Each structure stands twice: as C-alpha cells, then as structure tokens.
C-alpha cells in the first residue's frame, strides 16, 4: 500500500503534476495530512511534514544530502526520536552531509540493499524460488549431462542468457 504525507491540506493535490498519482494513492492507499483542508503548502510545512514522516518510520534512510539541506532537518528529528539513520555511500566531494554523518558515527552505510531490507522483514524481500536447473548448473556439469537431466531447459537458459556453454561445460552467469 502506498502512503503519502502531504505538506498541505488533504484536499489539495500538490504538486499539480502529480494529481493522478495522488488520486490513485487516495483510492488504493492512504493520504495523510496534519493540515486543515484548503491549507496551501509553505516552505515551513515541508519541514513539519517531514517530522511526521520520520516519526512514522522505523529508521531514516538519507540517500543524498548537503549540510544545510532539508534532509538534515529530518536527520535532526530522527536523532531526537532515537531512530537509527542509514545513508547511501557517496563519492568524496559529493553529498557532504551523508559523508559527515558517517564520519561522526551518526549513521551507518548501506552497502547491500538486499541485506539491508532483509534486516527488517523477510516479507519485504520477494520469495526467490530455487531453480533446480540453475542450481544443478552451478555444479559445472558438461553440456551432455545437463541435456540428459534437463532436456528442455538447457537451450532456453542459453537463449535467455542465464548460462553460457564454454568448452562443453555449463557456466551460470
């Protein structure tokens, strides 16, 4: 379910370019606002909205931020609320605030997104069904052995790019 926290009254579709998206979320998800109907967003209402967004989450993930950005105000809220903060690693000279959060041990870096997501719930990670054919191919069988065991899968997997045949052996890509 999609959830949107608005910086304006719930009756206002802001920004207007997202009107259809907001209508879809209103129909199938949840729109939240702490402002009265008719309230038009102001620069300060985004900060107020972000405090609610931080409060609703278990952790705060900052993808990119400069030192005096609005994202850093969200970091302040998270610190006040005792929330864990995570950042995406950046190159030197980019995203000075996220790098500073790492340097000051106020945030942890996300290096593996799947590992990060699985930390919170196995339900969030799609079930990956083991493919018996690909598992078998990881043992590096010969082409003939694989054909005998999985006659209809070898050609299909080769065409789809899942495997290569090198020196008459199956290699999983």
User: Residue 126 in 3-state DSSP?
Assistant: coil
Is pLDDT larger for residue 124 or for residue 30? Answer: 30
Strand ranges, E, within 6-162: 30-32, 59-62, 84-87, 108-109
Highest mean pLDDT: which range of 32-36, 140-144, 151-155: 32-36
What is d(CA 145, CA 139) in angstroms, rounded to the nearest whole number?
Answer: 11
> What's the mean pLDDT in 144-149?
92
Q: What Cα–Cα distance (Å) separates residue 34 from each residue in 28, 31, 38, 52, 60?
A: 20, 10, 12, 9, 20
> What's the mean pLDDT in 87-99?
85
* Residue 56: pLDDT over 70: yes
pTM (predicted TM-score): 0.64
């Amino acid at each position: 379910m999609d959830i949107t926290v608005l910086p304006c009254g719930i009756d206002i579709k802001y920004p207007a370019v997202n009107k259809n998206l907001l209508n879809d979320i209103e129909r199938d998800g949840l729109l939240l606002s702490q402002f009265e109907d008719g309230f038009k967003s102001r620069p300060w209402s985004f900060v107020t909205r972000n405090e609610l967004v931080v409060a609703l989450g278990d952790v705060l993930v900052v993808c990119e931020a400069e030192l005096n950005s609005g994202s850093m105000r969200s970091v302040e809220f998270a610190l006040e609320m005792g929330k864990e903060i995570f950042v995406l690693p950046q190159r030197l000279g980019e995203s000075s605030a996220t790098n500073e959060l790492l340097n000051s041990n106020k945030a942890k870096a996300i290096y593996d997104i799947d590992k990060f997501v699985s930390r919170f719930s196995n339900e969030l990670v799609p079930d990956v069904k083991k493919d018996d054919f690909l598992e078998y191919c990881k043992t590096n069988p010969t082409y003939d052995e694989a054909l005998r065991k999985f006659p209809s899968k070898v050609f299909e997997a080769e065409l789809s790019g899942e495997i290569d045949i090198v020196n008459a052996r199956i290699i999983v890509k």
